[in-house]
Structure 1
Amino acid sequence: MTDAASGSVESPRLARLGTLFGAVVAPSTFVTALLYYFGYWHAYWFFDYFGVNSTMLGFGTVDYLMRSLDALFVPMVVVAAGSLIAFWGHTLLSARLASRIGSPSLRIFVPFVAGVGFLLALGGFWSVLDARVFLRDHLVAAPLSLAFGVILLTYALHLYRALPPVAGPPTPRNDDDPENEPANSTNNEPADSTNDDPERSSPPAASPTTRRPEWTAVAEWGVVFALVGLSLIWAANDYAAAVGRGRAEQQASQLADSPTAVLYSERRLDLGAPGVREVRCRDPKSAYPFRYEGLTLLMQSADQYVLLPQAWTPATGVAVVLPRTDSVRIEFVPYSARATLGRATC
């Protein structure tokens, strides 16, 4: 069976699998849930770096969806580019397979692909069962090992089923044996030309592709998509966590150059964070008699302010979470105007 014929058999099964998946899970709901999931972990690890639990900040669905774009941009570009290269490579390989020019090479290439896929899949499965596997020490190495292993095993099986059958050795012919006499030789008619062809005189070898029930093919593709999909979700989750923490480290390194958030409050907040200075306003009738300098705004979400001291460090810094109320007012001073803070009055 040629690769084109094999593809024509698999296409209806893949279409049936897609229809079944669409009937069980709405695609838009599934995609939204994935984006929400990745955005959640991005936010969790970002604020965890500053010692803040992101669940108390009141993020909504839109907040998580927006954060998921930062976590998924690079993986989506890599997957799209890799898929395009894989499609082009498959097209070239299919042309060689259809012409049977590369059949001997393919009979070596297919076991090689299967062997590499088996080793990668084994490493991925091992990482799932044992967190001490060395693959877990490297970012997305374990999930990608499982995903690529399953893909290579599936592709090797696809190529094996598309390989042309191997012709068996020709059957030796004994002209002295009367049983080999052509049946029509008594009528002085020419023998069938197929008896003169040694390749046709032997029984055809069995094709690697056998007819299977449709449900087994659909189930096989379903398991493949499940394993690859879960592996890619695992990889994207690890990458989202790494991006969230990386963005937090980048933000922390820029605190000294960030605009200063001057916090005015009706009541004394007693902020004892390093580098934060409390100033009491001289005017007793001031609506906001307490001013706090040396802060920078990290995030405003829902009804919460997340403020950091500009001298914040992972070892000694603390984060300040304040409710957004009328008793608190915030002014921002750019970096170039910080020299005026010490002379400011309420």
Structure 2
Amino acid sequence: MAEDSTPSGRLERLVEAGKAVIPPLTLLSALLFYFGYVSARSQYEYFGVDVDTIGLGTQDYIMRSPQPLLTPLLVYAAAGAGSVAVHAAVRRRIHPEAAARTVRRMRRLGRGGQVAGLAALTSGLLLLLGYPFLRDWRPYGLMTPLLIAAGSTLFGSGAAVGRLLRSPAPATPLRRTSTAFVYLVVAVSAFWMTATLAQWSGRGLAMDRANRLDELPSVILDTKESLFLRSPGVQETKLPASEGQTFHYRYRHLRLLIHGKDRMFLVADKWSASNSTIIVPLDDSVRVQFQFQNQPP
């Protein structure tokens, strides 16, 4: 019972309660879904398509999440390993028998970290307050959380170095609260940065795809009525009339961008600012043919 009343015991009970409310696997799936959705939304927005009209499912978005998450996770892992290594190096150099010169050097290091962290944190908060004026600045979504996270980390690390140099003292409720607040700020900032990178990743994938539209499946589309397409390069041919013929127009030089639940999204095979995405329902109102690749076997 005495152990349950300690701060560590209360923290363990809080963690266990959080696991009961939100299982780790559910939380992980939710995060993968969100970042996959952000990336896909940015990707198909480039082609003028609202991703919600495609009809992708939860599994589709989760499967798309590794692409935008790979770089941020590697960076976070490297930053975490570096911080652990620095913390271990600092603790090795701080001991009761340490030379006075070393103590002074470490004290200056801690104060320098606090000053640099406070400057970065202040810059991030100023950017946050200036959102109405800076929201169209492209690096805003990355620089603001990066400055806030880096500033909070440097300030907290500098303060920790200062505490290590002083006589050990039990953690006070204020110190525990401030440490938890720093962790929360860093976590929220990391989430914001990852969402921004996922958005940039989706736009980059779209631009790369637009540069290589000829690699998408080639489609021949027959319709009953003229579509009056305005995309340059799409060829419209009127089919010869015959008995029982219900399809009168044929379109070539189309590519399959993505296949939704009950519809296809087609684009011209060459990118142009005048292009548009064609939504074709999968029913008897159209007739679709997929062409073979031109490269012989």
TM-score normalized by structure 2? Answer: 0.84
- Cα gap change, 1:103 to 1:18, in 2 (>3 Å): farther
Question: Conserved in 1, the CA contact under 8 Å of 2:32 and 2:61?
Answer: yes
Is 1:123 aligned with 2:123? yes
Paired position in structure 2 for 1:39: 36
Partner-residue secondary structure (3-state), 2:170: coil
Alignment of structure 1 residues 1-346 onto 2, 5 Å: 15=12, 18-19=15-16, 21-98=18-95, 100-101=98-99, 102-131=102-131, 132=133, 137-138=138-139, 140-163=142-165, 165=166, 207=167, 209-213=168-172, 215-256=173-214, 258-265=216-223, 267-272=224-229, 273-282=231-240, 283-286=242-245, 288-313=247-272, 315-334=273-292, 336=294
Shift of 1:19: 3.8
CA–CA distance in structure 1, aligned partners of residues 62 and 71 of structure 2: 16
Shift of 1:264: 3.1
**How big is the alpha-carbon RMSD for the aligned residues of Structure 1 and Structure 2?**
2.9
Shift of 1:30: 2.1
CA–CA distance in structure 2, aligned partners of residues 68 and 288 of structure 1: 41
Q: Which amino acid aligns with 1:299?
A: I
Q: Which runs of 5+ in 1 are unaligned?
A: 1-8, 166-206, 338-346
Question: Conserved in 2, the CA contact under 8 Å of 1:281 and 1:289?
Answer: yes
CA–CA distance in structure 2, aligned partners of residues 134 and 95 of structure 1: 45
Cα deviation digits, residues 314-338 of structure 1 (max 9, x gap): x21111112222443433325527x
CA–CA distance in structure 1, aligned partners of residues 264 and 226 of structure 2: 14
Runs of 4+ in 1 over 6 A off after TM superposition: 9-14
Paired position in structure 1 for 2:3: none
Shift of 1:24: 4.7
CA–CA distance in structure 1, aligned partners of residues 45 and 98 of structure 2: 58
Shift of 1:14: 6.3
CA–CA distance in structure 1, aligned partners of residues 88 and 10 of structure 2: 20
Partner-residue secondary structure (3-state), 1:306: strand
Matched length? 284
Partner-residue secondary structure (3-state), 1:140: helix
CA–CA distance in structure 2, aligned partners of residues 17 and 91 of structure 1: 28
Q: Which amino acid aligns with 1:110?
A: G
- Cα gap change, 1:154 to 1:16, in 2 (>3 Å): farther
- Cα gap change, 1:83 to 1:158, in 2 (>3 Å): same
Shift of 1:159: 1.5
Partner-residue secondary structure (3-state), 2:65: helix
Question: Conserved in 2, the CA contact under 8 Å of 1:258 and 1:335?
Answer: no
Cα deviation digits, residues 252-307 of structure 1 (max 9, x gap): 11124544211234x22524132222234445445755421110011112222111
Paired position in structure 2 for 1:193: none
Partner-residue secondary structure (3-state), 2:267: strand
Which structure's CA Rg is the greater one? 1
Cα deviation digits, residues 133-192 of structure 1 (max 9, x gap): 5995426122111111111111112211111x4xxxxxxxxxxxxxxxxxxxxxxxxxxx
Q: Which amino acid aligns with 2:149?
A: A
Paired position in structure 2 for 1:175: none
Identity of aligned residues (%): 28
Partner-residue secondary structure (3-state), 1:292: strand
Question: Conserved in 2, the CA contact under 8 Å of 1:17 and 1:218?
Answer: no
CA–CA distance in structure 2, aligned partners of residues 10 and 88 of structure 1: 27
Shift of 1:52: 1.2
Q: Which amino acid aligns with 1:35?
A: L
Question: Conserved in 2, the CA contact under 8 Å of 1:280 and 1:290?
Answer: yes
TM-score normalized by structure 1? Answer: 0.73
- Cα gap change, 1:97 to 1:136, in 2 (>3 Å): farther
Question: Conserved in 2, the CA contact under 8 Å of 1:136 and 1:142?
Answer: no
Q: Which amino acid aligns with 1:117?
A: G
Partner-residue secondary structure (3-state), 2:61: helix
